A and B are shown apart, each in its own frame.
Chain A
Amino acid sequence: MASTQITPTRMELTKTKKKLATARRGHKLLKDKRDELMRQFLDMARENMELREKVEAGILSANKNFVIAKAGMDEATLNTALMAPKQEVSLNVDKRNVMSVNIPAFETKTRTADANDIYSYGFAFTSSDLDGAVKSLADILPDMLKLAEREKACQLMAAEIEKTRRRVNALEHVIIPEAQETIKYITMKLDENERSSQIRLMKVKDMMLEEAHHYSERA
């Protein structure tokens, strides 16, 4: 116990009381932060899962379409068709602050506004299955971006919640009880000192009175 190394003085008592007050305040604030983070996190995680299931299903079916497309034409033609993409996606990243956690907000810009620029090939030598496959992949791209945003946010928030929870627990179960213990120890020690000096004074008074009046000889 840390309280055994503490010098029981009035100054130490005031210091510890201040520390306890700060710890209590910090504990309350961190608890609020944890609760709010948790609330937002759970919403975010639910959304994350929904998006993930949607994206995974989408990619799976797009992959199937690509396999079919590949079966309908020879590999060289397919490779050439997709070799020089017309479209280009660039990403703008903003930061959003949720309870002091920075989470990303993605915004994409395509190089050209034309939605048909995803078809980077002439239609003469490729099968129509390829068009469908590319289209199905393009359709899930917005969801993929949203998924990236949500999933990253979830990871960052989970880490922050874990950290906050540890702090709350440390304050609640270690720092605050320890401070209370110390305060109790110091008050008791001070009271004890006071009583002991009181007794000492009474004794001295007795002795001085005895010296002056010689009660014991008179009796």
Chain B
Amino acid sequence: MYKIAVIGDYDSIYGFAALGLDTFPVTTHEEAGERLHVLAAKGYGIIYITEALAAELKHEIARYQGQLLPAIIQIPGISGNTGDGVRGVKKSVEQAVGSDILFSN
């Protein structure tokens, strides 16, 4: 049985605790990177991470991209939408097709 985690700054993620997801508020991206690895090893199937943090942890996240689990999914934080999540989808289309034929406009 797996669990679901949410990583981000406290203000962005405290609401998810009410739903029954495990929230892990962090302040620095070093802390977030460590937390990410710990959670990935501890049986979390989905890890939601705020876009702002994910931008600093590209390298760490890329390590898990080829694995079935965990699924690391970017969500917008309280400070707004940076567009990184959408860019991630476009990037996989680009990787597969060679150029972005679906969402280029």
Is B26 in contact with chain A by the CB < 8 A criterion? Answer: no
Give a binary string over B32-52; 1 marks a CB under 8 Å from any A CB, 0 the rest: 000000000000011010000
Q: Sort chain B's interface into a size bin.
A: 35 or more
- List chain B residues, Cβ under 8 A from A83: 17
State whether A91 touches B96 (Cβ < 8 A).
no
Is A157 in contact with chain B by the CB < 8 A criterion? Answer: yes
Please judge, given known A-B contacts A87-B20, A93-B2, A106-B45, whether A82 and B93 are in contact too, CB under 8 Å.
no
Is A3 in contact with chain B by the CB < 8 A criterion? Answer: no
**Which B residues from 26 to 71 make CB contacts under 8 A with A?**
45-46, 48, 65-66, 68-69, 71
Please judge, given known A-B contacts A119-B18, A148-B73, whether A89 and B102 are in contact too, CB under 8 Å.
no
- List chain B residues, Cβ under 8 A from A82: 14-15, 17-18
Describe B's contact surface by its main secondary structure. mixed
- List chain A residues, Cβ under 8 A from B93: 42, 45, 158
- Least Cβ–Cβ distance between A57 and chain B, in angstroms: 9
State whether B89 touches A45 (Cβ < 8 A).
yes
- Least Cβ–Cβ distance between A83 and chain B, in angstroms: 8
- List chain B residues, Cβ under 8 A from A38: 96-97
Please judge, given known A-B contacts A45-B92, A48-B89, A156-B66, whether A85 and B1 are in contact too, CB under 8 Å.
no
Is A60 in contact with chain B by the CB < 8 A criterion? Answer: yes
Q: How far is the CA of A48 from the CA of B86 in the complex (A)?
A: 9
- List chain A residues, Cβ under 8 A from B12: 63
Name the one of A138, A144, A161 contacting B48, with C-beta atoms under 8 angstroms: A144
Instruction: Beyond A45-B93, A85-B17, A89-B3, list 5 extra A-B contacts (CB 8 Å).
Output: A63-B77, A91-B45, A93-B45, A118-B20, A161-B96
Chain B residues engaging chain A, CB cutoff 8 angstroms:
1-4, 12, 14-21, 45-46, 48, 65-66, 68-69, 71, 73, 75-78, 80-81, 85-86, 88-89, 92-93, 95-98, 102-103
Chain A residues engaging chain B, CB cutoff 8 angstroms:
38, 41-42, 45-46, 48-49, 52-53, 55-56, 59-60, 62-63, 66-67, 78-79, 82-83, 85-93, 95, 102-104, 106, 108, 110-111, 118-120, 133-134, 137-138, 141, 144-145, 147-149, 151-152, 154-159, 161-162, 165
